[in-house]
Amino acid sequence: DTGVSQNPRHKITKRGQNVTFRCDPISEHNRLYWYRQTLGQGPEFLTYFQNEAQLEKSRLLSDRFSAERPKGSFSTLEIQRTEQGDSAMYLCASSPRGRGQQETQYFGPGTRLLVL
């Protein structure tokens, strides 16, 4: 399967712990996005990368959230000092190169986080 993959699929942690999620985009997709989705709501944009450059991060929910894409391939999203309100599904998406093609985003299965 050459779709977007995310690991882990589920994460349970205790309040105050740090968590890190990984996203592997579709090969050769240069754009990578992170979204958060809470129960019963649509996804909410967090940040995106074009290659290794993080071009938008003002929507990250707080300074406890950070994301990296060091080599322009996979990305990680870290949440420090987790809070119960961080419990949600974290979705990653990627989009291809090319004018007119980059608008379609291909989503991974998500990482479901539960903070106890």
Partner 1 sequence: SQQGEEDPQALSIQEGENATMNCSYKTSINNLQWYRQNSGRGLVHLILIRSNEREKHSGRLRVTLDTSKKSSSLLITASRAADTASYFCATDNNAGNMLTFGGGTRLMVKP
Give yes or no for a cis peptide into 8 (omega within 30° of 0): yes
Which one, 56 or 83, has the nearer CB to partner 1? 56
Minimum distance of partner 1 from residue 81's CB (angstroms): 24
Beta bridge mates, 52? none
Distances (CA, A) of 106 to 15, 58, 62, 82, 109: 31, 22, 26, 27, 10
Q: Which of 13, 80, 87, 109 binds partner 1 (CB under 8 A)?
A: 109
Closer of 48 and 65 to partner 1 (Cβ) = 48
Q: How far is the CB of 104 from partner 1 (least distance, A)?
A: 5
Q: Which is nearer to partner 1, 18 or 51 (CB)?
A: 51
**SS3 assignment, position 111:** strand
Q: Which two tokens stand for residue 94?
A: 């990627």
Helix, strand, coil proportions of the chain in percent (round to 5)?
5, 45, 50
Binding letters toward partner 1, positions 79-108, x by CB under 8 A:
----------x-x-x-x------xxxxxxx
Footprint of partner 1 (CB under 8 A): 4, 31, 33, 35, 40-45, 48, 55-56, 59, 89, 91, 93, 95, 102-110, 112
